[in-house]
Every structure is written in structure tokens, then in C-alpha cells.
């Protein structure tokens, strides 16, 4: 048995713990006994083809034609060990988003949304020889929650999952999560089973928009999440499978312009099931070669106790990534990925649109001492469509450049 596989229960338990905490950056690197500080600068740009993407009226504005979206982000994350069994990590991001569009009448316009996101803090404890992992997280409400009509216009476009942009610079209100993961070795498999309870903030505009809600003033109920993770060797390769299900309490949609305590509607989201599969191949002359796929199914939700047709959706992503050593302290990073989202039929806005797209990234990983430098460029292209509509699809192209710095101390 390899040393790597002997640590598989610990690895899969930590992965399952991360799955229970959806607000924590998935790519954050954590090393036991080592503090890590990461920061970066990322610039993204999206250009819509043809006459642009027709965004229906909303948030107090007539319909518009989206022409371009650009985003500049500065993410930061910090992970600090507390003794040998506990780790505390923190993450936040500053970003500014610029939206270019054509109104129904008049010349082209640009709107901007800028600010810092909420600060997310998590503590992870590995107990009983890593057989039990406890997680607790809080969402500090540092992001802005008072959004103007112009702010909401930008948010309705930049929050679209189809584009894969960074998190928009808005807050979600105070929230907290607690969870437990139990890890065991079962035959050839390392198995981790976990559950968590998330108390969500009283303001969730991104959740409202991506669910197709008619109001951005979305006061969500709490969430129960269950997860399972599996990990084993397949010959010289390593297979990891994880799945999580979210069960939602009743949410409320409110009219921000009304003083009435009565909600516009009550909404209960259906269960959301997410499955991730990763196969790490033992290939020669590479540091890493990974094939991965993810599927997310959103079941129909209920509005005032009645199921809403067209509110279910499938989201499928997949690809590969590899790291090729160029020199002892320099690696070439290459990724390729594809995305298919069915979209929601209840809304024709960009936030609920369907997509078929592909992309790729080329970057370098340079290490010197405790410092890692990671410049990269990325390109993507695809087609956006409105589900169950005869409207023509809209093409788009996008590009990104970024520079990440990670130091361990």
C-alpha cells in the first residue's frame, strides 16, 4: 500500500468537509502545520456577438442588449494552523464589474458595480486520529447590500453561472455553518460521510437571481446538507467521487419598495444534488494529470406551495488539467474544460440562461523558497440560449489574465 493511499481517509474527510462549506474557496491550498497566504489579481472580459444578449426588463429598467462585461478582482485568502489538529482559514475578494449595453433608445451606456465581498471565516478540526472532522464557518457581512437600480442591472448580468466569472462584489448578510464528517476505511475504499446545517443571511440577491426569482430582496431559509466522499486506487491511478445534497427551508421574496411585512411570495427550493468525479492518472513526465467532471441537478421549486414548471435544471462541467515540469522550480500548467447548462425556463435573463461553451488555460507555477508565483491566461467561447424559447442563441467570447502569489510561513 502506498503512503499516499494510507492517508486517503484524512484526504477524503477534508475534501468532504470542504464540500459541506460551500462558501469557502475550493482551490485554497492548505498544508498541515504551515500557514499560507494567497493573493492575486485577475482581469476578465466577455464580449457578446451579433446584436448582443437581450436582457428582459427588471429592477426598474426596460429591456436592454448586453454588449460586454469586464471584471477586475483581487482575491485574498489566509490559512493558519492552530496546533496540530486545527486550521483556521479566511477569504475575501475586492472586485469591480463594468457592464456595457445598448438601451432601447439612445446611445450605448456603461454601468459599474464595485466593492468588497463578505469575509468568510472557517475553522476545521481533525479529531480522533483524523476519523472525525469538525467544521464551523461564519460569513461576516462586509459586502454591500444596499443596491441601486444600476447596481442590480450589473448584478443581473455578472452573476450568471453560464459565464463563470468571479463572485460579484455584493454581500449575502450574516450566515453560519456547522458540520461533521466521519472517515473510515471500508475495504479498498476510503469513505467519508458528513452533514452540515447552514443558517443563511437575510439578504441573498445572487441566490435570488440565479434561481429566477422576480425580486432581488430574497430572504432565504436555512439549508441542511449531506455529503459522501469515496477515494481509492485503481491500479496506479486514484479515483475520487463525492456527492452532496442540499435540502432547503422556506424562503421569502419581498418588495424592497414596500413597507408591508407580508412577503410577495414564499418559495421553497427543491433539493439540489451535486456529484463530482476526479481521476488522477499516474502518467510519466508530468507532476499531475487529472480528468474531472461535475454534475449539479436543481429540482423544481415551489412558489406559494405550487410547483413551478421549468424551474429544474442540469449543470454539467468537465475537463482536464495537467502540470508539466520545465525545470526543478518551474511547471507549465495547462487546462481544458467544457460547460453545459440547461438553464431555467421561468426567466429569459442571462442569470438563468443555458450555455454550451469550452475554454482553456495556460500558466506557469514558479517556486522560490516559500513563495509560489502563478501567472496565467485563459480563453473561452460558447453560445447562450433561452430554454424552451424560439429566440436565437447568442455567441460570446471571453478572456482572462491573472497573477497569483502564495507564500507559506
* Percent residues over pLDDT 90 in the chain: 63
In angstroms, the CA 184 to CA 190 distance is 6
**Average pLDDT of the chain?**
87
Tens-place pLDDT, residues 255-305: 666 666 677 778 888 999 999 999 999 999 999 999 999 999 999 989 888
Question: Higher confidence at residue 349 or residue 38?
Answer: 38
Q: Which residues contact 261 (CB under 8 A, 6 or more apart)?
A: none
- Residue 28's pLDDT is what? 33
What is the pTM (predicted TM-score) of this model?
Answer: 0.84
Beta-bridge partners for 321: 290, 335
For residue 5, pLDDT over 50 is answered with no
Tens-place pLDDT, residues 43-58: 999 999 999 999 987 6
In angstroms, the CA 75 to CA 96 distance is 12
| Nine-digit cell string for 114 | 464595485
DSSP assignment of 19-49 = HT-TTS-TT---BTTB-EEEEEEEEEEEEE-
Tens-place pLDDT, residues 87-146: 999 999 999 999 999 998 888 999 999 999 999 999 999 998 888 999 999 999 888 877
In angstroms, the CA 64 to CA 76 distance is 34
Would strands 189-199 and 223-234 be described as parallel, antiparallel, or unpaired?
A: antiparallel
CB 273 within 8 A of CB 296: yes
Question: Higher confidence at residue 201 or residue 402?
Answer: 402
Mean pLDDT computed over 68-72: 97
CB 254 within 8 A of CB 263: yes
For residue 27, pLDDT over 50 is answered with no
- Residue 72's pLDDT is what? 96
Per-residue pLDDT band for 251 (boundaries 50, 70, 90) equals confident
Count Cβ atoms below 10 Å from residue 182 Cβ, excluding itself. 16
Amino acid at each position: 500500500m502506498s503512503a499516499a493511499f494510507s492517508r486517503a481517509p484524512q484526504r477524503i474527510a477534508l475534501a468532504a468537509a470542504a464540500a459541506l462549506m460551500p462558501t469557502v474557496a475550493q482551490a485554497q491550498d492548505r498544508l498541515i502545520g504551515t500557514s499560507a497566504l494567497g493573493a492575486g489579481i485577475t482581469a476578465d472580459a466577455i464580449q457578446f456577438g451579433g446584436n448582443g444578449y437581450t436582457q428582459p426588463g427588471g429592477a426598474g429598467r426596460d429591456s436592454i442588449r448586453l454588449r460586454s462585461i469586464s471584471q477586475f478582482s483581487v482575491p485574498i485568502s489566509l490559512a493558519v494552523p492552530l496546533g496540530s489538529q486545527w486550521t483556521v482559514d479566511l477569504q475575501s475578494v475586492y472586485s469591480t464589474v463594468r457592464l456595457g449595453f445598448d438601451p432601447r433608445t439612445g446611445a450605448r451606456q456603461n454601468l459599474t458595480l464595485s466593492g468588497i465581498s463578505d469575509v468568510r471565516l472557517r475553522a476545521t478540526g481533525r479529531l480522533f486520529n483524523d476519523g472525525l472532522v469538525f467544521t464551523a464557518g461564519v460569513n461576516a457581512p462586509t459586502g454591500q447590500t444596499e443596491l441601486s437600480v444600476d447596481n442590480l442591472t450589473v448584478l443581473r448580468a455578472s452573476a450568471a453561472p453560464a459565464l463563470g466569472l468571479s463572485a460579484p462584489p455584493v454581500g449575502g448578510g450574516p450566515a453560519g455553518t456547522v458540520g461533521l464528517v466521519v472517515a473510515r476505511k471500508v475495504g479498498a475504499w476510503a469513505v467519508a460521510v458528513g452533514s452540515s446545517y447552514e443558517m443563511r443571511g437575510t439578504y441573498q440577491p445572487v441566490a435570488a437571481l440565479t434561481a429566477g426569482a422576480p425580486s432581488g430582496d430574497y430572504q432565504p431559509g436555512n439549508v441542511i446538507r449531506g455529503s459522501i466522499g469515496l477515494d481509492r486506487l485503481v491500479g496506479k491511478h486514484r479515483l475520487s467521487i463525492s456527492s452532496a445534497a442540499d435540502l432547503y427551508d422556506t424562503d421569502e421574496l419581498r418588495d424592497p419598495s414596500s413597507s408591508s411585512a407580508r412577503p410577495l411570495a414564499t418559495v421553497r427550493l427543491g433539493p439540489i444534488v451535486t456529484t463530482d468525479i476526479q481521476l488522477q492518472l499516474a502518467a510519466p513526465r508530468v507532476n499531475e494529470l487529472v480528468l474531472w467532471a461535475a454534475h449539479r441537478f436543481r429540482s423544481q421549486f415551489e412558489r406559494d406551495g405550487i410547483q413551478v414548471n421549468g424551474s429544474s435544471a442540469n449543470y454539467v462541467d468537465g475537463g482536464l488539467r495537467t502540470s508539466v515540469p520545465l525545470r526543478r522550480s518551474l511547471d507549465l500548467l495547462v487546462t481544458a474544460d467544457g460547460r453545459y447548462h440547461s438553464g431555467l425556463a421561468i426567466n429569459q435573463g442571462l442569470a438563468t440562461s443555458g450555455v454550451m461553451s469550452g475554454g482553456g488555460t495556460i500558466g506557469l507555477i514558479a517556486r522560490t523558497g516559500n513563495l509560489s508565483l502563478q501567472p496565467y491566461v485563459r480563453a473561452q467561447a460558447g453560445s447562450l440560449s433561452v430554454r424552451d424559447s424560439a429566440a436565437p442563441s447568442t455567441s460570446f467570447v471571453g478572456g482572462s489574465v491573472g497573477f497569483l502569489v502564495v507564500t507559506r510561513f
